[in-house]
């Protein structure tokens, strides 16, 4: 146990972590392009926030949360998603009193007690955005365009944007009625959970992961069949804005999304060739959420992209990552007397912003060169008796193998400006 990580978690090791840093960098660049500011909320919140904010009948709340009592006997939950916490923070900090809309983003770990498999983990990472304070088809199209831009800048191809409208509280009663009518004759065949959902929230049944439930609900009436005129017009306008922005999409009437608070636009992005867990991101409008969390009636829309799945898709599609990080210089101490000079030069180079390193293991000259090679250093700088005597350093280019002795001051010229 001591040397084994909990099931469904991952170590991101050096070598791999650079890929993550790259993805995060691209995400932050896109956020800047679109005018979104970062928000950081706690990793854990009061359990009630997710019960209310994600929805009592969702898979997340019913079976996937990491919930525990803290020492003060409060029920705490590790965040399974980002939206509820952003809304909580929006209300707590009265961000609604400032200029609207508020465009926010976050990047961080989420926790769900899911069945681990390729692309599905118990601790995973999401990049997400939330736009609060605006109900306009244009912003719905913008957030989708922005998600697609992230994938595009990361070099991902063959993605499909699926969109649907889930309607509003006005269209729901009709949908609920028609769904119950359709499902009633097959009710016995559904899983225990879906039987419970039949009365409380039959729409949830369409999102059940069980194969049997999926089969039984095939052909069921969809949200799109029951839209009120205003929701239908809003959805048409979202599609028009997507067309204007040049974003391709597929209307998918069966798209439900796993969270209770969605209204109007819902969307999901699928990547081909990454296995069963093909959803690389999804989101939607949640006009009822702020109120459900105890705030005023404020509309919102957001999405979350899974970083593990983005990485998986990038690797599978052979997308390019920046070249691996390497130190600019490795300083080789060729005789004990050179140590003082090596330390001084090391400090100088680091102060100038170069990535520089030395040996701390008492390695021989040959072993230091070998170590510099393992670190993939761009150059080595060797200081020994001769160099001390001449006030020089010997620089070896580790790519070409060429070596030259230069005045110590010349080193920055050789390395290029920083
Ligand atoms: P959701 O919050 O369920 O809408 O998920 C948004 C995105 O997060 C999905 O499209 C996945 O890319 C990712 N995701 C959700 N659950 C997991 C998980 N257990 N492991 C890895 N990625 C996940």
pTM: 0.91
Order of strands across the sheet with 67-69? 44-46, 75-78, 67-69
Please choose, from the candidates 313, 326, 324, the residue with its C-alpha nearest in 3D space to the C-alpha of residue 154: 313
Residue 273 has pLDDT above 80, yes or no: no
Could you tell me whether strands 159-165 and 263-271 are parallel, antiparallel, or unpaired per DSSP bridges?
antiparallel
pLDDT for res 110: 98
pLDDT for res 206: 82
Q: What's the rounded Cα separation, in Å, for the pair 173 and 167?
A: 11
pLDDT for res 418: 58
Go through the domains of the chain in sequence order and give each one's CATH number. 17-171+227-317 (3.30.930.10), 329-415 (3.40.50.800)
- Model confidence over 92-138: pLDDT tens digits? 999 999 999 999 999 999 999 999 998 999 999 999 999 999 999 99
Q: Which of 55, 121, 124 to mutate to test the pocket of ligand 1 (most atoms within 8 A of CB)?
A: 124
Residue 90 has pLDDT above 80, yes or no: yes
Mean pLDDT of 401-417: 85
Question: Residue 242 is encoded by which pair of tokens?
Answer: 């997507």
The H-assigned helical ranges of 228-306 are 229-245, 289-292
Residue 332 has pLDDT above 70, yes or no: yes
Q: Does the beta carbon of 306 sit less than 6 angstroms from any atom of ligand 1?
A: yes
Q: Does the beta carbon of 279 sit less than 6 angstroms from any atom of ligand 1?
A: yes
- Model confidence over 59-82: pLDDT tens digits? 899 899 999 999 999 999 999 999
**117, β-bridge pairs:** 120
- Model confidence over 157-194: pLDDT tens digits? 999 999 999 999 888 888 889 988 998 998 889 898 88
Q: What's the rounded Cα separation, in Å, for the pair 286 and 140?
A: 11
Reported confidence tier of residue 259, pLDDT bands at 50, 70, 90? low
Mean pLDDT of 390-397: 95
Q: Whose CA is nearest to atom 4 of ligand 1?
A: 282
Reported confidence tier of residue 308, pLDDT bands at 50, 70, 90? very high
- Model confidence over 181-234: pLDDT tens digits? 998 998 889 898 888 888 888 888 887 878 888 888 888 898 888 999 999 999
Report CA-CA distances (Å) from 336 to 247, 329, 333, 342, 403: 64, 20, 7, 10, 22
Q: Is 354 helix (H, G, I), strand (E, B) or coil?
A: coil
Beta-carbon count within 10 A of 399 CB: 8
Q: Does the beta carbon of 162 sit less than 6 angstroms from any atom of ligand 1?
A: no
Evaluate whether 283 touches 147 at the Cβ level (below 8 Å): yes
- Model confidence over 12-48: pLDDT tens digits? 999 999 999 999 999 999 999 999 999 999 999 999 9
Reported confidence tier of residue 296, pLDDT bands at 50, 70, 90? very high
Q: Does the beta carbon of 145 sit less than 6 angstroms from any atom of ligand 1?
A: no
Mean pLDDT of 271-292: 88
Residue 404 has pLDDT above 70, yes or no: yes
pLDDT for res 22: 97
Evaluate whether 164 touches 187 at the Cβ level (below 8 Å): no
> What are the phi and psi torsion angles at 292 (to 5°)?
-60, -25
Q: What's the rounded Cα separation, in Å, for the pair 37 and 129?
A: 9
Residue 412 has pLDDT above 90, yes or no: no
306 Cα: distance to centroid of ligand 1 (angstroms): 5
Higher pLDDT, 172 or 257: 172
Q: Across all residues in the chain, what is the average pLDDT?
A: 93
Q: Whose CA is nearest to atom 8 of ligand 1?
A: 306
Q: What's the rounded Cα separation, in Å, for the pair 271 and 274?
A: 7
pLDDT for res 68: 97
Residue 257 has pLDDT above 80, yes or no: no
The H-assigned helical ranges of 133-259 are 137-153, 172-183, 192-200, 211-216, 229-245
147 Cα: distance to centroid of ligand 1 (angstroms): 14
- What whole-number percentage of the chain has pLDDT above 90? 76
Higher pLDDT, 256 or 276: 256
**CB contact set of 183 (below 8 Å; sequence gap of 6+):** 190, 198, 202, 205, 216, 217, 220
Q: Which of 79, 280, 282 to mutate to test the pocket of ligand 1 (most atoms within 8 A of CB)?
A: 282
115 Cα: distance to centroid of ligand 1 (angstroms): 12
Residue 305 Cα: closest atom of ligand 1 = 7
């Amino acid at each position: 146990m001591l040397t084994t990580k909990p099931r469904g978690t991952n170590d991101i090791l050096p070598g791999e972590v650079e890929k993550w840093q790259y993805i995060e960098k691209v995400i932050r660049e896109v956020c800047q392009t679109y005018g979104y500011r970062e928000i950081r909320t706690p990793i854990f919140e009061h359990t009630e926030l997710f019960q209310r904010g994600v929805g009592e009948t969702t898979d997340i709340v019913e079976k996937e949360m990491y919930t525990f009592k803290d020492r003060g006997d409060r029920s705490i939950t590790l965040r399974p998603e980002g939206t509820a916490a952003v809304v909580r923070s929006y209300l707590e900090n009265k961000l609604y009193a400032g200029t609207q809309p508020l465009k926010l983003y976050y990047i961080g770990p989420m926790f769900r007690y899911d069945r681990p498999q390729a692309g599905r983990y118990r601790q995973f990472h999401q990049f997400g955005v939330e736009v609060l304070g605006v109900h306009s088809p244009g912003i719905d199209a913008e957030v989708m365009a922005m998600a697609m831009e992230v994938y595009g800048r990361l070099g991902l191809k063959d993605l499909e944007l699926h969109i649907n409208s889930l309607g509003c509280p006005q269209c729901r009663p009709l949908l609920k009625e028609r769904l119950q009518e359709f499902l009633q004759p097959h009710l016995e065949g559904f899983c225990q959970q879906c039987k419970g959902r039949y009365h409380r929230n039959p729409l949830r049944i369409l999102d059940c992961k069980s194969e049997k439930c999926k089969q039984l609900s095939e052909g069921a009436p969809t949200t799109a069949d029951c839209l009120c005129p205003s929701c239908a017009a809003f959805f048409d306008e979202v599609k028009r804005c997507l067309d204007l922005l040049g974003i391709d999409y597929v209307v998918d009437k069966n798209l439900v999304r796993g969270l209770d608070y969605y209204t109007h636009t819902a969307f999901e992005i699928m990547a081909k060739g990454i296995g069963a867990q093909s959803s690389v991101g999804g989101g939607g409008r949640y006009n009822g959420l702020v109120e459900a969390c105890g705030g005023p009636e404020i509309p919102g829309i957001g999405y979350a992209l899974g970083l593990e799945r983005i990485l998986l898709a990038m690797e599978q599609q052979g997308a390019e990552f920046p070249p691996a990080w390497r130190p600019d210089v490795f300083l080789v101490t060729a005789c004990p007397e050179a140590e003082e000079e090596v330390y001084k030069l090391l400090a100088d180079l680091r102060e100038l912003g170069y990535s520089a390193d030395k040996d701390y293991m008492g390695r021989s000259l040959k072993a230091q060169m070998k170590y510099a090679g393992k670190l993939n250093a761009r150059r080595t700088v060797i200081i020994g008796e001769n160099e001390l005597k001449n006030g020089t350093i010997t620089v070896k280019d580790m790519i070409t193998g060429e070596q030259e002795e230069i005045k110590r001051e010349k080193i920055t010229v050789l390395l290029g400006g920083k």
